[in-house]
Amino acid sequence: MSDWMIEAVGITKRFPGLIANDRISFAVRPGEIHAIVGENGAGKSTLMKILAGLYEPDEGEIRLRGQPVRLRGPRHAAQLGIGMVHQHFMLIPRFTVTENVVLGSEPGSAARLDLVAARARVRELAQRYHLDIDPDAPVARLSVGQQQRVEILKVLYRGAEVLILDEPTAVLVPQEVEELFHHLRELRKQGKTVLFISHKLDEVLAIADRITVLRRGRVVGTLEAREATKPRLAEMMVGRPVLFDLEKPPAGDAAEGGPLLELADVTCREGTRTVLERVSLSVRPGEIYAIAGVEGNGQAELVQVITGLRVPDEGHIRLLGADATRWSVERRRAAGMAVIHEDRHRQALVLPMSIWENALLGRHRHRRWRRGPFFRPATIRSHVAREVARYDVRTPSLDVPVASLSGGNQQKLVLARELSQAPRIIVAAQPTRGLDVGAIEFVWGQLLEARARGLGVLLISADLEEILALADRIGVIARGRLVGELARSEATAEVLGRMMLAGGEAS
Ligand SMILES: Nc1ncnc2c1ncn2[C@@H]1O[C@H](COP(=O)(O)OP(=O)(O)OP(=O)(O)O)[C@@H](O)[C@H]1O
Ligand SMILES: [Mg+2]
């Protein structure tokens, strides 16, 4: 009997122009929670996909309980007891929890599929692992955290002994993270082995037994979590010390000029529901105004009305002093508004298109890139190449589709595009979600620099640490209403947290 549940031995995986995994070896003990950390593009997801049978390695071996195995696909991996919980959920909203869990697990036997037995089994599994969930609920009605539990149930249903979770907490609010960790500990108690990826080092230190660090496709080392610290991990990841408390430069010249962006009594309805209710706020030059709140309390709608994707039912929006309530997205852009959208896959990038095309999106009509009706490819390419280098977007070339970039590198490309066009006001929704610590430090620095130059920044974030690091003023949103506004000096995580929750219950 081997000491290890699962091992990677000299795993190499190449993609055109790069080596995503370079002779990776590491081993996971049975019944441990093993975290994998590393910079954006370090090769974490690739490695996990190899262990889950989704990719075949070019070289190297996977061993399960000491025995070499050749995984012929995800189904084969599942038969051997390895299951992956994906970051982008693959659930069918109209189906119930049970239907989703069972779906695809009984190849070719749809006719014999016994939903009654399946339902009982799902209930039993949910109880055994304390994954509080109703087997009959349609998935469309579940919160993100509950949907994730369905994904976990799905792999448990298939008999997983090794569960792989790729950035499971990126989509969760703090309370849901706590619940997930509770579930992971429960799984560990019952002997399951968990592989877990996260960029949040505090989380990793809280939940993991051991931690393996990757950098540029290679293993830097494996540590016992109790011997690890945040600065040590960050330094192993990026190869240099990372500042966690960044120096905040003095604010820009706030006195000068009127507000750059103003909302006056903005109300939005969706059917009979009021999703934004009389929201008023203003962002002045040289300040970062942050919207704090539990996700799903109107932040998405707020970004939509501000950026022109939605017209408010009541109220006004002023941009640089002009009434912009009915302006198009393009007109707002032209007036100097840059937008970092939260959902980069749906709103910010065209995945099958190349890096250089995506870098131009939204400003491709600009004179600078054209001579008459023609593009000026050399000008465009050298410009994009500079931005890609400055923002450290890791890619083998400018011609690969954006879909092939790692998640964090996709986000960096959006930032490069939006911040490089000399905006007056930046609307940044969850700008650092999915980024590694080094990249977060860089983005925070960019936003502070913009502020110092007199730009206005509206930051919408679910991350209180981010809000406290950057904001000058903070508005707390709950159920579509601004329930309070504080100066940075009045705000602490506790105060904000209490307002976020109290505001939600009050109405
Ligand atoms: N299907 C693919 N085709 C081409 N290149 C790919 C593909 N998948 C990943 N890559 C490349 O392999 C490298 C490693 O990517 P991977 O997704 O494993 O990184 P990661 O560590 O998960 O990063 P992140 O933290 O940003 O999610 C990246 O440079 C990425 O662009
Ligand atoms: Mg990844």
Q: What are the phi and psi torsion angles at 239 (to 5°)?
A: 80, 10
Pick the atom of ligand 1 nearest to 39's CA. 25
Which ligand does the CA of 410 lie closest to? 1
Q: What strand order describes the sheet that includes 261-270?
A: 273-283, 261-270, 314-319, 322-323
**Which pLDDT score is estimated for 1?**
66
Strand partners, 456: 425
CATH topology agreement for domains 6-238 and 261-336+423-506: yes
The yes-or-no verdict on residue 53 having pLDDT over 70 is yes
Distance, in Å, from the CA atom of 197 to the CA atom of 200, rounded to the nearest integer, reads 9
* Residue 233: band (very low, low, confident or very high) from pLDDT cuts 50, 70, 90: very high
Domain 261-336+423-506 adopts which CATH fold? Rossmann fold (3.40.50)
* Residue 358: band (very low, low, confident or very high) from pLDDT cuts 50, 70, 90: confident
* Residue 463: band (very low, low, confident or very high) from pLDDT cuts 50, 70, 90: confident
**Mean pLDDT, the chain, whole residue set:** 89
* Residue 34: band (very low, low, confident or very high) from pLDDT cuts 50, 70, 90: very high
In terms of pLDDT, which residue wins out, 501 or 450?
A: 450
Average pLDDT rounded to a whole number, residues 424-428: 96
Average pLDDT rounded to a whole number, residues 91-103: 88
The yes-or-no verdict on residue 63 having pLDDT over 80 is yes
In terms of pLDDT, which residue wins out, 39 or 248?
A: 39
**Rg of the Cα atoms in the chain:** 24
Average pLDDT rounded to a whole number, residues 181-190: 94
* Residue 62: band (very low, low, confident or very high) from pLDDT cuts 50, 70, 90: very high
Burial class (CB in 10 A: 0-12, 13-18, 19+), 282: middle
Strand partners, 53: none
Lowest-pLDDT choice from 81-90, 110-119, 410-419, 464-473: 110-119
**Which pLDDT score is estimated for 381?**
87
Average pLDDT rounded to a whole number, residues 477-488: 94
C-alpha angle 297/301/303, rounded to 5°?
A: 110
Query: 395: CA distance to ligand 1 center in Å?
Result: 9
* Residue 507: band (very low, low, confident or very high) from pLDDT cuts 50, 70, 90: very low
**Which pLDDT score is estimated for 251?**
66
Average pLDDT rounded to a whole number, residues 289-299: 89
Domain 6-238 adopts which CATH fold? Rossmann fold (3.40.50)
The yes-or-no verdict on residue 173 having pLDDT over 90 is no
Q: Which residue has the tokens 């000096």?
A: 489
Nearest to 291 by CA among 68, 419, 86, 460: 460
Q: What strand order describes the sheet that includes 33-38?
A: 82-85, 162-166, 193-197, 33-38, 210-215, 218-224
The yes-or-no verdict on residue 111 having pLDDT over 70 is no
Distance, in Å, from the CA atom of 384 to the CA atom of 193, rounded to the nearest integer, reads 43
Distance, in Å, from the CA atom of 327 to the CA atom of 346, rounded to the nearest integer, reads 22
Distance, in Å, from the CA atom of 415 to the CA atom of 293, rounded to the nearest integer, reads 23
**Which pLDDT score is estimated for 506?**
40
**Which pLDDT score is estimated for 106?**
59
Name the residue with the closest Cα to ligand 1, atom 12. Answer: 20
Q: Which of 18, 44, 46, 358 to mutate to test the pocket of ligand 1 (most atoms within 8 A of CB)?
A: 46
CB neighbourhood size of 271 (10 A): 6
Name the residue with the closest Cα to ligand 1, atom 5. Answer: 404
Query: Does residue 44 have its Cβ closer than 6 Å to ligand 1?
Result: yes
231: CB partners within 8 A, 6+ apart:
241, 242, 244
Q: What percent of the chain has pLDDT over 70?
A: 93
Q: What strand order describes the sheet that includes 425-429?
A: 337-340, 425-429, 456-461, 288-292, 473-478, 481-487
Name the residue with the closest Cα to ligand 1, atom 17. Answer: 406
Q: Where in the chain are the domains?
A: 6-238, 261-336+423-506
